[in-house]
Amino acid sequence: MSILSRLGVGNDARSSLRRHFSNEVGLYLALKIFVAIILFAMAALTFVDVVGRYIFSAPIPGTFETVGLLMGLVTFSALPLVTRAENHITVDLFDSFIKGKFRKIQQLLILIGCTIVLGFFAERLIATAIDEYGANYVTEYFGISRAPLLIFLAFLCVLTTSILIMMVWKYLNGTLEKIETHGEADAIQVITNRPPN
């Protein structure tokens, strides 16, 4: 008997989980697991700190600093995942006015703009890491250097930038697939920009 069976997960859910994990590329699956662990750690640390603070009058020292560092990890680790799945929050305020070729130009400009901005973020994170390392800057409570964390965040920005560059290339070739939801979770349609044969 598998672990999923013991947890009461049915056959449909098990096959869906197997399909999901078999389709994942190793790096993205590792990032998903990493984000889940960090989110759980943040929630658990905050819960234990609040219980310790208000029930036992003994808060966990350094919780604020730890949660702040973990928040940066979660945010930047999720960037490649959200970008790859095209799950960014979007505002369709002007979508009813932009149609046809202008819509395609708008989408291309958004992809190029996001690529430039995330490349700039990566450069700034690396520059900040170098500056902080050179100045022997350390965190207030733990006294550790943030430079390795900033370099890792820059790597995640570079990874996201490379995903966006591939998306721009696919968009220009007409092979970028976009998953569009029409207000309901079960109404998902894959739209391909590829012209018909």
Is 105 within a domain?
yes
> Which tokens go with 153?
């965040």
- The three-state secondary structure class of 10 is coil
196 Cβ contact partners less than 8 Å away, ≥ 6 residues apart: none
What is the pTM assigned to this prediction?
0.76
Is 197 within a domain?
no
Is 131 within a domain?
yes
How many separate domains does the chain show? 1
Boundaries of domain holding 83 = 3-192
Is 57 within a domain?
yes
Please give the chain's pLDDT, 197 residues, in tens: 555 555 555 566 556 656 655 556 788 888 999 999 999 999 999 999 999 999 999 999 999 999 999 999 999 999 999 998 888 888 888 778 888 888 889 889 999 999 999 999 999 999 999 999 999 999 999 999 999 999 999 999 999 999 999 999 999 998 886 544 344 333 333 444 444 44
Report residue 195: phi and psi, to 5°: -70, 150
Q: How far apart are CA 110 and CA 83, in angstroms?
A: 12
